[in-house]
Chain A
């Protein structure tokens, strides 16, 4: 207990030091829109911590779009620049990062990977009148905040559940076991499945929690086998997902396994090894399967030396939607750009981007993949 307390204490001291430091330079911020040569866009993504891989991929994807736009003459004759802050996929760091972005005086905000880290930051962007485009985080809790300048470019969890229902019907599965990790995003996805699946005549056999930081799920696997589930849906992230898949097979579970979009990573394939064969993924639009994705992959790879990740197309599209909105209204005025994004209808690499009045995507962009011979293959139903 005392170590936890001390960790909290040292964190508190660090936070207060940082706040003193950022207050010191806060006076010069707040005037980003005053500089007429640049449009500054704040980027909130994790570039450290367990999800740093995704955060870096997102940042690079924004950078690619920004560089393209600037080479083509910028927006309204002004160049776009990015100002990144690291949320570490953690609520404490995210609030600090958000303060950093706000006090830097940005014009707009993009980013958002871990919902648990994104949600605490969003209120600050709302208070600062910044149009905020959330590219990847997709907890329905974001919608529930009701912030009228925050738009979600990724299909929310209920779209994933709809896609999962399609897959379950296709496979003829009757009874599903859900596993989540107890945090905002994974619990949210699990809760949605728990309500959507029974509405479609599919039983929920059991819901299990694998705490973050604990590696052993053998007891959970036995409980799942005993529940009679013929399908397991892992709602968590890929770092633990591969371990769960391996232990399910080790523990004698023989039914189908699917994982949510938090685990949609090629790392899942290498890490889960032979146990991963045949595992399904309810995935965000992977660029390899998008029309017009080839050029994007080529440009991205040429620039960063490695191919784009799962959320790259969403981020790329986010930047272009923002560009079109600014150009449409001819200024960076908060209310005008906000309304322009609300009315956007854009066909991008990630699919159609059009918002409901709740500022969620109108049409699901989820696809179903399956691990076959060590790589992802598209499943068409």
Chain B
């Protein structure tokens, strides 16, 4: 049995892990919305595709490279392929309708989501696939009654590094500056000689690669991969992005972590059947008090 503070601490750890998955996916929603005001509903499916690529590549490599090197290679492959997929969706589905009314863009995104979802469903014959790494997922450290496994620590470190890296990239590099500028005013950017299409494409590649890393980590951590795994995850990450203030990078991270924590705390104190009611109830409250999300701004700048 736990003491009260141990219990809360353990649930915070649980929530933090789940929250970092939400945050990594939420970043993609937020970046894309920030730059072209598109709710990219296909993003959850990119996450799922990442998980499948990771599992497939790991399976193919397993004779030659097993264990951690194999996992890293598989996740890199997932980033690569998901990045390409993200770019292709942008190039062939979204770019042609960028000038059309916003609803057309939204419907296109739903279409892209269904295409990826159903394609993977057909390819995998709707079967769940299992990631068998031979690693000991249970190995970890024990502080009092609190358990943290090594895999969980790695997950937290990797997602923190990615989030800090992305923040620096957007805030400190010329490309990041271009992204922020496009978020403010595309036409002026064009006049200033920024290759707007290229930057938008790059935004999709980065967002998709982050989702694929989350997918790869989910594949390693949870071990089962199914074609419908992106749906709930996508909806929740989208929620996280809105709560944090869609378009805001730190907001997406904050929203993701917050949603994960609320779910864990809700599970503990109200039971797992009420956790979503609790988490989403509080989120509605936050939106009533801060309609633009926690870190969102009502002005046009959204990056």
Chain A residues within 8 Å of B, Cβ to Cβ: 2-3, 6-7, 10, 48-50, 52-53, 182, 206-211, 213-216, 218-223, 225-226, 228, 239-240, 242-243, 246-247, 249-252, 267, 270-271, 273-275
Give Cα distance in the complex from A209 to B233, angstroms.
17
Q: Decide if B293 is an interface residue (CB 8 Å cutoff).
A: no
- Contact of A223 (CB < 8 Å), options: B41, B235, B272: B272
User: B residues within 8 A CB of A211?
Assistant: 232, 276
**A3-B113, A208-B272, A228-B1 known; A250 vs B130 contact (CB < 8 Å):** no
Contact between A53 and B271, CB atoms less than 8 A apart: no
Tell me the nearest residue of chain B to A272, going by C-beta: B223
Give 9 nearest A-B pairs by CB, closest first.
A252-B147, A219-B267, A271-B130, A218-B14, A219-B264, A213-B232, A239-B128, A215-B222, A209-B273
Contact between B132 and A182, CB atoms less than 8 A apart: no
Tell me the nearest residue of chain A to B236, going by C-beta: A214
Tell me the nearest residue of chain B to A275, going by C-beta: B138
Contact between A225 and B2, CB atoms less than 8 A apart: yes
Give Cα distance in the complex from A336 to B21, angstroms.
59
Contact between B224 and A243, CB atoms less than 8 A apart: yes
Give Cα distance in the complex from A48 to B272, angstroms.
29
Determine the main DSSP class of A at the interface with B: helix
User: B residues within 8 A CB of A246?
Assistant: 137-138, 222-223
User: B residues within 8 A CB of A3?
Assistant: 41, 110, 113, 235
Give Cα distance in the complex from A219 to B224, angstroms.
18
Give Cα distance in the complex from A49 to B124, angstroms.
10
Q: Decide if B11 is an interface residue (CB 8 Å cutoff).
A: yes
Give Cα distance in the complex from A270 to B59, angstroms.
14
- Contact of B138 (CB < 8 Å), options: A10, A206, A210, A249: A249
User: B residues within 8 A CB of A52?
Assistant: 125-127
- Contact of A218 (CB < 8 Å), options: B17, B132, B226, B229: B17
Give Cα distance in the complex from A226 to B269, angstroms.
11
Q: In the assembled complex, how far is the CB of residue A200 from the closest CB belonging to chain B, in whole angstroms?
A: 24
Contact between A239 and B232, CB atoms less than 8 A apart: no
What are 16 pairs between A and B in contact, CB < 8 Å? A6-B110, A10-B114, A48-B126, A210-B272, A211-B232, A213-B231, A214-B233, A215-B218, A221-B14, A222-B11, A222-B267, A222-B268, A225-B1, A246-B138, A246-B223, A250-B138
Chain B residues within 8 Å of A, Cβ to Cβ: 1-2, 7, 10-11, 14-15, 17-18, 21, 41, 106, 110, 113-114, 125-128, 130, 132, 134, 136-138, 140, 142, 145, 147, 149, 151-152, 218, 222-224, 226, 228-229, 231-233, 235, 263-264, 267-268, 271-273, 275-276
Contact between A250 and B273, CB atoms less than 8 A apart: no
Contact between A274 and B136, CB atoms less than 8 A apart: yes
Q: In the assembled complex, how far is the CB of residue B235 from the closest CB belonging to chain A, in whole angstroms?
A: 8
Contact between A226 and B268, CB atoms less than 8 A apart: yes
Q: Given A225-B1, A226-B1, A250-B138, 4 more contacts at CB 8 Å?
A: A3-B235, A214-B233, A215-B229, A219-B15
Give Cα distance in the complex from A85 to B34, angstroms.
47
Contact between A50 and B128, CB atoms less than 8 A apart: yes
User: A residues within 8 A CB of B110?
Assistant: 2-3, 6
Q: Which of B14, B136, B145, B233 has the largest number of chain A CB atoms within 10 A?
A: B14
Q: In the assembled complex, how far is the CB of residue A60 from the closest CB belonging to chain B, in whole angstroms?
A: 16
Give Cα distance in the complex from A7 to B126, angstroms.
17
Contact between B137 and A250, CB atoms less than 8 A apart: yes
User: B residues within 8 A CB of A215?
Assistant: 218, 222, 224, 229
User: A residues within 8 A CB of B2?
Assistant: 222, 225-226
Give Cα distance in the complex from A291 to B161, angstroms.
59
Give Cα distance in the complex from A209 to B263, angstroms.
13
**A48-B125, A270-B130, A270-B132 known; A251 vs B147 contact (CB < 8 Å):** yes
Contact between A242 and B268, CB atoms less than 8 A apart: no
Give Cα distance in the complex from A220 to B14, angstroms.
9
Q: In the assembled complex, how far is the CB of residue A86 from the closest CB belonging to chain B, in whole angstroms?
A: 11
Q: In the assembled complex, how far is the CB of residue A12 from the closest CB belonging to chain B, in whole angstroms?
A: 15
- Contact of A219 (CB < 8 Å), options: B113, B114, B232, B272: B272
User: B residues within 8 A CB of A225?
Assistant: 1-2, 145
Give Cα distance in the complex from A243 to B225, angstroms.
10
Contact between B1 and A222, CB atoms less than 8 A apart: no
Q: Which of B224, B228, B229 has the largest number of chain A CB atoms within 10 A?
A: B224
Contact between B11 and A219, CB atoms less than 8 A apart: yes
Q: In the assembled complex, how far is the CB of residue A11 from the closest CB belonging to chain B, in whole angstroms?
A: 11
Give Cα distance in the complex from A246 to B152, angstroms.
13
Q: In the assembled complex, how far is the CB of residue A1 from the closest CB belonging to chain B, in whole angstroms?
A: 9
Q: In the assembled complex, how far is the CB of residue A122 from the closest CB belonging to chain B, in whole angstroms?
A: 24
User: A residues within 8 A CB of B21?
Assistant: 216
Tell me the nearest residue of chain A to B7, going by C-beta: A226
Give Cα distance in the complex from A48 to B263, angstroms.
32
Give Cα distance in the complex from A267 to B223, angstroms.
13
Tell me the nearest residue of chain A to B271, going by C-beta: A208
Give Cα distance in the complex from A218 to B267, angstroms.
10
- Contact of A242 (CB < 8 Å), options: B1, B224, B263: B224
User: B residues within 8 A CB of A218?
Assistant: 14, 17-18, 264
- Contact of A220 (CB < 8 Å), options: B1, B125, B151, B267: B267
